[in-house]
Structure 1
Amino acid sequence: ISGSAVVKIIEAHVEQPQIMLDKLSEFVSAMKAATQK
């Protein structure tokens, strides 16, 4: 599930690499926070 979410973020922002990296960073940070609770 998380892998497909990453792919969707990449697909949505393939022409905007900086936005893509920002969105991926937000997603990964949220996933990391969820596993540390």
Structure 2
Amino acid sequence: MKIYIAGPMTGYKNFNRETFILMAGELERRKYQPLHTA
């Protein structure tokens, strides 16, 4: 199942990319296909 990850980017260090990448990794471990803009 594909899941789109959305969240705040403006005003965060490096546009909050670390959080997006960490969440994508967690979703991949749960067998999802994460999509995000980071």
Partner residue in 2 for 1:14: 10
Counterpart of 1:27 (choices 18, 23, 28) is: 23
Identity value in percent: 0
TM-score by length of 1: 0.53
Unmatched segments (≥5 aa) in structure 2: 33-38
Query: How far 1:14 sits from its partner (Å)?
Result: 1.6
Q: What do you get for the CA RMSD once the two structures are aligned?
A: 2.2
The answer for unaligned runs of 5 or more in structure 1 is: none
Which has the higher relative contact order, 1 or 2, with Cα contacts under 8 A spaced 6 or more apart? 2
Structure with greater helix share of residues:
1
Structure 2: which amino acid aligns with 1:16? Answer: Y
Compare the two structures and name the one with the higher strand fraction.
2
